[in-house]
Structure 1
Amino acid sequence: MLADDFGRAVTGVRISLTDRCNFDCVYCHNEGLGDTRGPMEPAADEMSADDVVRFLEVAREFDVQAVKFTGGEPMLRQDLAEIIHRIPDEMEASLTTNGTFLPERAGSLVDAGLERVNVSQDALSPEAFKEITQSGAYDRVMEGVEAALSAGLAPVKLNMVVFEHTAGYVPEMVDHVAENDGLQLQLIEYMPELVGNPEWAIDIERVHDWLRERADSVTTREMHSRRRYQVGDGLVEIVDPVGNETFCQNCHRIRVTHEGYVKGCLNRNDDLRSMGEMNKPEIRKTVRETVNNRVPYYGEYFVQNDAGDWVMNEKYV
């Protein structure tokens, strides 16, 4: 198992399979790369299925235990089921999707080995959903969630980005998962340093405070020390990395872009490392370099000075 200089072992990887997407969400940061989304047609720069599987075979050598496939919209890859079927034994496979293709494909993905799914859903009305996602696919997403549950992927975790446009929808989303068996809710703090529009950000602690008063119980998840709120039959979790050193201290994941670059942090693109021709020696070398160069705290906020000490990057802030 690989560990960085701060004692964080890498136990998971997050792989973007494409930067293509059939939505145009106003908060999208495309896995930290910014608004680089390409056309809907398959692109030559996307890793092939063989490339993805070869990377995962090396990751498993380093005792990585889980992979999450993302995008763009990863289900635009027609070879997604093949990739999932070919991942190494004893590696958990999960998926983050907008859900529009799940009605037809949830069953085949489960048959291929998919174990968990996150579905992006920021509102419970077609009008609000369209405003945020620039898509009229609300009904398809709802069908996709039901298809995932029917295929055995419960609990389905709904991802909701919390910012000025969606904060007012949080109570009804919490009620929704509390009243519907098999659903969980993940509230994700808006990250303006990736997207821009800092005026959209809200104080995420206010959401914590509201949930604490509403919840039947509160626990802390080991990963990132996330607080989890049990509300009725629903579980609500907040992802709050902005200005949160504890969050970063518990990060055990590296990321791979759709073009085959490895990076050590979502909010960091100055350490992108190519895996070259994607042979196993090059993959091993790149993964080791990436892990060895991980920073202690939230992307490019921290840099090393001439003495080798980690200090706040005033230019970046």
Structure 2
Amino acid sequence: MRGPAGAPDGSVRPDTPALVDSFGRIATDLRVSLTDRCNLRCTYCMPAEGLDWLAGPDVLTTAELLRLLDVAVTRLGVTDVRFTGGEPLLRKGLEELIEGTAALRPRARISMTTNGIGLARRAGRLRAAGLDRINVSLDTLDPRRFAEITRRDRLADVLAGLAAARAAGLAPVKVNAVLLRGINDDEAVPLLRFCLEHDYHLRFIEQMPLDPQHGWNRAEMITAAEILDRLGAAFELTPSHTPRGAAPAERWLVDGGPAEVGVIGSVTRPFCEACDRTRLTADGALRNCLFSQSETDLRGLLRGGASDEDLAGAWRATMWAKLAGHRINEAGFAQPIRPMSAIGG
């Protein structure tokens, strides 16, 4: 049963404009999916033929997105906005959207997660528009493996995008890597050496059950402990002294620092108790957790004439109802209906 304000235990939401939940967490980090489309077909993310993409009219317009972002930043206390996809570089008017977000006050930190295809020719424009930093997905340094994992021969484009992002001042440039058993799990050390050489910040991420095929197998997942064991064979790792806060990555100094490597153990070392995220899909669905089984239709409210305070109220109620954790490690866990490409990273 849910109480009047939607909390799992029936408790009443405090009178605060912030996006607080019934466990005392406050969401200040907004993940915004700009499209469910992608120009890669990573094996752990979607089938070779792709998926049924959202129809154009279902996707929020730039004006609608900016209105929701204005509500989030000026009324709800959001301080960090990350644009994701699908692949956000496929979104028309991306620079305009970033520029509009950067104009909001108080000014939020703006970042983006991308596969890097096309980034080389746009990094400078994105930085000029107001993008502060960027994460680029890169699971392998081997062209053959890259084509096997992504079903596209585009490794050179990704590497060029990384270099362009660094040159444009999108610092720190972060690299997100997923290790797949029997495919690229021998590349933990080479990937870290590469990132150290180029001054990129590497983050390894455990593979999560968010594929549309529902083919995720816990036994095939490379765990955080395994990643650290592989890295420990070549580097001396010591815990970072920097407070973790709500950051998803556990950070480790490499050979005494100052360089670091991060490991995001979403499955085996969950960080739900400190989660500060709220999520908006490309079609305007609000989610209080990556693995949520429910959503709030902000697009319907927007197009139905809702006021900014109506939107803020719906947002607050959704976050108040957030569960304690994602429950991946509990019996009866069910994947969300939407895959990662439709939710946003």
Structure 1 301/140 Cα, relative in aligned 2: closer, same or farther at 3 Å? closer
Shift of 1:224: 4.4
The reply to whether residue 204 of structure 1 matches residue 229 of structure 2 is: no
Aligned to 1:306: none
Shift of 1:166: 2.4
8 Å contact from structure 1 (residues 14, 69) kept in 2? yes
- Identical aligned residues as a percent: 34
Aligned to 1:45: 58
Shift of 1:100: 1.1
Shift of 1:46: 1.3
Q: Which has the higher contact order (CA 8 A, sep 6+)?
A: 2
Shift of 1:172: 0.5
Question: Which of 178, 191, 205 is the matching residue for 1:161?
Answer: 178
Aligned to 2:338: none
TM-score (norm. length: structure 2): 0.80
Shift of 1:168: 1.4
The reply to whether residue 184 of structure 1 matches residue 201 of structure 2 is: yes
Q: In structure 1, what is the Cα distance between the partners aligned to 2:38 and 2:67? A: 25
Shift of 1:148: 0.4
Q: In structure 2, what is the Cα distance between the partners aligned to 1:36 and 1:215? A: 42
Number of aligned residues: 298
In the TM superposition, 1:1-317 aligns within 5 A as 1-28=18-45, 36=51, 38=53, 43-60=56-73, 61-87=75-101, 88-89=104-105, 90-164=107-181, 165-181=183-199, 183-192=200-209, 194=211, 195-198=214-217, 199-212=219-232, 214-219=235-240, 221-224=244-247, 226-231=249-254, 234-245=259-270, 247-268=271-292, 270-275=293-298, 276-278=300-302, 279=306, 280-298=308-326, 301=328, 312=330, 314=332, 316=334
- Say which is worse superposed, 216-225 or 172-181, in terms of deviation: 216-225
Shift of 1:212: 4.9
8 Å contact from structure 1 (residues 18, 74) kept in 2? yes
Runs (4+) of structure 1 exceeding 4 A deviation are none
Aligned alpha-carbon RMSD (Å): 2.3
8 Å contact from structure 2 (residues 84, 112) kept in 1? yes
Give the number of the structure whose residues are more often strand, by fraction.
1
SS state of the match for residue 192, structure 1? coil
Q: Deviations over 1:44-74 (max 9, x none)?
A: 2111111111111111111110100000000
Shift of 1:243: 4.1
Structure 1 226/119 Cα, relative in aligned 2: closer, same or farther at 3 Å? closer
Q: Deviations over 1:101-143 (max 9, x none)?
A: 1111111111110001000111001111111111111111111
8 Å contact from structure 1 (residues 274, 286) kept in 2? no
SS state of the match for residue 294, structure 1? coil
Q: Structure 2 unaligned runs (5+)?
A: 1-17, 336-345
8 Å contact from structure 1 (residues 122, 160) kept in 2? yes
Shift of 1:36: 4.6
- Say which is worse superposed, 187-196 or 66-75, in terms of deviation: 187-196
Aligned to 1:308: none
TM-score (norm. length: structure 1): 0.87
Shift of 1:258: 0.6
Shift of 1:257: 0.6
SS state of the match for residue 94, structure 1? strand
8 Å contact from structure 1 (residues 177, 235) kept in 2? no
